[in-house]
Amino acid sequence: MNRGLCLPRLKIQISGFLCAVNINIKDILYNMCCVNTKALFILMKLQYFPVVLQLVCSFLLLSSLSLSVAEELRKLSWSGIPRQVRPITWKLLSGYLPANVERRASTLQRKRQEYFGFIEQYYDSRNDEHHQDTYRQIHIDIPRMSPESLILQPRVTEIFERILFIWAIRHPASGYVQGINDLVTPFFVVFVFEYIEEEVENFDVSSLQEDALRNIEADSFWCMSKLLDGIQDNYTFAQPGIQRKVQALEELVSRIDESVHRHMQKYEVEYLQFAFRWMNNLLMRELPLRCTIRLWDTYQAEPEGFSHFHLYVCAAFLVRWRKEILEEKDFQGLMILLQNLPTMHWGNEEISVLLAEAYRLKFAFADAPNHYKR
């Protein structure tokens, strides 16, 4: 007998619950989540029921996650996380927030205090001779980021400068490298969503309460740090991690689409000339922010998502434009295309297709890396 949950049937049941006056509705739904984690994520998809979202948030906030439930959460997050529960889910998936609910409040308090302790200890040194070049480069890079309407808010600029400077001081092996600045934005935007309902691009961040801003800043720092722990060789001297990944991308594309590969060889386009940015910024300069956030749902759910799965996403992304690539007949045209791919109107559907193709490539090649090569 199939004991799985039927989504249409569950929708009907929940609709009936919500239409009825039943004082025990939240208890009923909460128990469903506790018994079957898939019920939790089916409920998460029913975003048009406010009481359901309130329930799901309560479940994630107030319940400890066993290893099996945490793994189920990771699997189900692969296909996208509803905005309302994305902040806590990202914190759980990244390992910043412990699965044990009894440890969460103390962990957050300790980590937030620790971060602001770093600021008290280090931030005044930003104008010292040894650190002023680092701070100056951060100060120059932030206004070049997107979305401009958010980044150019003075309060946001200050927050990003502190996050990036403290990270650089605490990681002298790499220090600050251009590209790291972009990696703060998705965390910052997602954690702002804990406090607002409107789109963050049109929101005056300085209107948030001071405690909220401090929490967002500290949480963004620690989650970005968790991400960078897994890809730090991308940013050490000569950026060897990126060099290896670009080489792996070239080898992979030569196997999955020889026509595209030979076309770029014919016009002397080097993969490093366009794919360095793809690896350095994790495709953030190629995609709208909404798509990056959706992509990162999967990266955080996928084992080694940022360090390994990203390679297959880049390969799928390149081959996605094979028609346009093959139509270009000179070096300049190819470079203009590859550095300005038309993704402005992309949304969840396009990202889902991209991720599905990347997963197919990973399944075909990840366990047999020699298949890259002829």
Q: Determine the pLDDT at residue 25.
A: 43
Within a domain: 121: yes
Residue 49, phi then psi, degrees to nearest 5: -105, 100
pLDDT tens, position by position, 230-243: 999 999 888 999 99
- Residue 341: left (phi > 0), alpha (psi -120 to 50), or beta? beta
Point out the domain boundary residue: 60, 85, 110.
85
**Distances in Å between the alpha carbon of 301 and those of 17, 135, 282, 339?**
31, 33, 16, 28
What mean pLDDT comes out for the span 253-258? Answer: 96
pLDDT in tens, 143-191: 988 887 888 899 999 999 999 999 999 999 889 999 999 999 999 999 9
Write down the pTM of the prediction. Answer: 0.84
- For the record, the structure tokens of 310 come out as 């990203």
Let me know whether 197 and 298 are in one domain: no
Question: Who wins on pLDDT, 312 or 9?
Answer: 312
Confidence of residue 22 (pLDDT cuts 50, 70, 90): very low
What was the pLDDT predicted at 198? 83
> Is a pLDDT exceeding 80 seen at residue 262?
yes
Same domain for 46 and 127, yes or no, is: no
Q: Per-residue pLDDT for 278 more than 80?
A: yes
Flag whether pLDDT at 268 surpasses 70.
yes
- For residues 160 and 279, membership in a common domain is answered with no
When computed from its CA atoms, the radius of gyration of the chain, rounded to whole angstroms, is: 22
The least confident of 120-129, 204-213, 339-348 is 120-129
Q: Is residue 1 part of a domain?
A: no
Q: What is the pLDDT of residue 45?
A: 55
Query: Is residue 90 in some structural domain?
Result: no
Q: Give 153-189 as a 3 state SS string.
A: CHHHHHHHHHHHHHHHHHCCCCCCCCCHHHHHHHHHH
| Residue 46 confidence (pLDDT) | 53
Residue 75 has pLDDT above 90, yes or no: no
Do 252 and 366 fall within a single domain?
yes
Domain that holds residue 293: 240-372
Q: Is the pLDDT score of 41 beyond 70?
A: no
Q: Which of 43-57, 75-89, 103-117, 348-362 has the lowest mean pLDDT?
A: 43-57
Convert the pLDDT of each residue in 103-114 to its tens digit: 889 999 999 999
Is 180 inside any structural domain?
Answer: yes
**CATH number of the domain encompassing residue 322:** 1.10.472.80
Check residue 202 and give its pLDDT.
82
pLDDT at position 82 over 90: no
Do the domain assignments include residue 91? no
Average of per-residue pLDDT values in the chain: 85
Q: In the prediction, which pLDDT does 4 show?
A: 41
Residues 221 and 289 in one domain: no
Q: Is residue 245 part of a domain?
A: yes
Q: Are 190 and 86 in contact (CB under 8 A)?
A: yes
Indicate whether 234 belongs to any domain.
no
Same-domain check for residues 314 and 257: yes
Total number of domains constituting the chain: 3
Lowest-confidence segment of 17-21, 72-76, 98-102, 209-213 by average pLDDT: 17-21
